[in-house]
């Protein structure tokens, strides 16, 4: 990977363009940064391991940027970056206020998920006592401000006199603030708060998704002309990087990167991976842009009447606008086998989470378990047996079972009985002998609880 600047030798060509020219080929340079945090891990992983970097037709210069959207936007404006990956709401706000940036595609198509948390010591108080100021939020996080506005609409904070926010620098600062009483509650991204909830330190009292794809590629206007091919190739390369990041051969190195860079380990990694999809396409959904614009306007973060429609800021030469009835192509998602490794032909742990966890928050309820078992082809189990299993896992207290609690409460129930590419947990009392099911029996085509056995610690 190099950082050499490229310039055309033809006297009439502008500096840095990608035109054909005589003489030795000189690769253009593409300077890329980001302000999206952990979602950039696949790119960081690919760069650290030099995956497919030499095949690029340009010199990729990954610029280390501060974790601040305003700073990265300023770097784009000053010409220090050609391309950046930013949260959708930050891009929409910038272009609506007149920025010359061009939207080049979608990086992650999954939404950002936020939860409102209080100390477990206060969870038994009346809602009017629990939900009160001040509320801690991540410093300079536009997404958190929009989630707070959604919460305000849900709880009618205006009628209650408003809600005071206290910016916090990190999750550790949030844990300290809520434990010391400096804040009464915190609003945080759900995958980051998972360990606090699973350990019983925090209790979730509300949740919401921002209803749009979470991050976009945005480039300077100059780059979309002079380096259009490089921008498109980088987006293609980013998709390959996401797929490489999710491969079984890479899992140990990927886990090390997540632990060392983002302090994300164990079940928290799985909760995060189950909630994110990498699109990495030169496509943007119209409804993503309009929904973000509408939310920003309603929250008072944009003044209506003087705004530029964000669809006008698309890189029209190569970025397609998708309508309401159109969807992205294949996206990169993490798939796991029973030991937390991806293997062709095996079921996806992400599907397990979706089957047994209706809110995608790393917890399942009794109703979730019933519906998930039915989807897995086990609808013939009696409700009494399922309730007894759930009661054993739950301990008869909270009515919600975390994946960590599941693995610790029933280690024997996670014993694997394989039948081709499908397994059924012995704890539920289902025969795994295909002949015992009858010669015409077909095993369910959905993965079962055995995939959770990798959580045994």
Question: Where a domain ends, among 161, 183, 209?
Answer: 209
Q: Is residue 18 part of a domain?
A: no
CA 12, CA 57: separation in Å to the nearest integer?
22
174 shares its domain with 61: no
Span 163-200, pLDDT tens digits: 788 999 999 999 999 999 999 999 999 999 999 998 99
CATH code of residue 293: 3.40.190.10
Q: Which two tokens stand for residue 364?
A: 């399942």
CA 406, CA 403: separation in Å to the nearest integer?
5
Q: Is residue 166 part of a domain?
A: yes
83 shares its domain with 132: no
Residues 6+ apart with CB under 8 A from 111: 209, 210, 211, 212, 213, 214
Beta pairing, strands 278-281 & 102-108: antiparallel
Question: Strands, DSSP E only, in 240-334?
Answer: 278-281, 283-285, 320-322
94 shares its domain with 140: no
Q: Identify the pLDDT of residue 395.
A: 59
CA 413, CA 426: separation in Å to the nearest integer?
6
Q: Identify the pLDDT of residue 253.
A: 86
Q: How many domains would you assign to the chain?
A: 3
Pick out the chain residues at pLDDT < 70.
Answer: 1-25, 124-131, 154-162, 248, 250, 304, 329-362, 370-399, 401-457
Phi/psi at 367 (nearest 5 deg)?
-65, -40
Q: Is residue 33 part of a domain?
A: yes
Question: Where a domain ends, among 167, 187, 209?
Answer: 209
Q: Which residue has the tokens 């009464």?
A: 184
377 shares its domain with 450: yes
CA 188, CA 168: separation in Å to the nearest integer?
10
166, β-bridge pairs = 136
426 shares its domain with 399: yes
Q: Is residue 46 part of a domain?
A: yes
Q: Is residue 341 part of a domain?
A: no
103 shares its domain with 248: yes
Q: Identify the pLDDT of residue 130.
A: 59
**Do 278 and 46 contact (CB within 8 A), yes or no?**
no
Which of 83, 17, 96, 26 shows the shortest CA–CA distance to 319? 83
Range of the domain at 60: 29-110+214-322
Q: Is residue 369 part of a domain?
A: yes
Question: Where a domain ends, among 209, 233, 260?
Answer: 209
Q: What pTM value is reported for the model?
A: 0.71
């Amino acid at each position: 990977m190099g950082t050499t600047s490229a310039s055309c030798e033809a006297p009439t060509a502008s500096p840095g363009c990608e035109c054909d020219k005589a003489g030795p080929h000189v690769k253009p340079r593409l300077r890329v940064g980001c302000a999206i945090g952990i979602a950039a891990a696949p790119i960081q992983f690919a760069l650290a391991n030099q995956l497919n970097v030499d095949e690029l037709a340009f010199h990729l210069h990954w610029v280390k940027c501060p974790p601040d959207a305003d700073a990265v936007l300023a770097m784009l404006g000053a010409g220090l970056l050609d391309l950046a990956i930013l949260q959708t709401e930050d891009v929409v706000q910038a272009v609506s206020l007149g920025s010359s940036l061009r939207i080049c595609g979608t990086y992650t198509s999954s939404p950002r998920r936020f939860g409102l948390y209080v100390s477990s010591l206060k969870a038994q108080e009346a809602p009017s006592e629990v939900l009160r100021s001040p509320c801690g939020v991540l410093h300079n996080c536009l997404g958190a401000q929009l989630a707070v506005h959604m919460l305000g609409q849900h709880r009618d904070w205006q009628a209650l006199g408003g809600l005071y926010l206290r910016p916090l620098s990190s999750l550790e600062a949030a844990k300290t603030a809520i434990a010391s009483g400096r804040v009464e509650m915190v609003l945080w991204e759900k995958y980051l708060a998972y360990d606090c909830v699973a350990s019983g330190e925090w209790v979730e009292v509300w949740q919401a998704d921002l209803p749009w794809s979470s991050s976009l590629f945005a480039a300077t206007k100059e780059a979309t002309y002079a380096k259009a091919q490089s921008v498109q190739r980088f987006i293609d390369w980013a998709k390959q990087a996401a797929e490489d990041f999710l491969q079984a051969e890479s899992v140990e190195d990927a886990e090390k990167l997540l632990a060392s860079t983002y302090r994300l380990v164990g079940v928290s990694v799985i909760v995060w991976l189950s909630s994110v999809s990498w699109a990495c396409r030169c496509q943007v959904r119209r409804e993503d842009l309009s929904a973000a614009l509408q939310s920003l306007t309603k929250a008072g973060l944009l003044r209506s009447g003087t705004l530029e429609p964000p669809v006008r800021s698309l890189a029209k030469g190569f970025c397609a606008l998708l309508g309401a009835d159109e969807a992205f192509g294949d996206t990169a998602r993490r798939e796991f086998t029973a030991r937390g490794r991806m293997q062709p032909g095996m079921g996806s742990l992400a599907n397990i989470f979706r089957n047994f966890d209706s809110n995608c928050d790393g917890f399942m309820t009794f109703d979730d378990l019933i519906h998930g078992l039915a989807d897995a082809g086990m609808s013939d189990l009696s409700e009494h047996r399922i309730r007894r299993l759930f009661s054993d896992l739950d301990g008869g207290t909270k009515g919600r079972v975390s994946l960590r609690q599941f693995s610790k409460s029933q280690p024997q129930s996670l014993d694997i009985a394989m039948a081709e590419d499908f397994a059924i947990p012995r704890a539920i009392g289902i025969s795994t002998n295909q002949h015992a099911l009858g010669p015409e029996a077909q095993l369910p085509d959905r993965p079962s609880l055995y995939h959770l056995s990798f959580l045994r610690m």
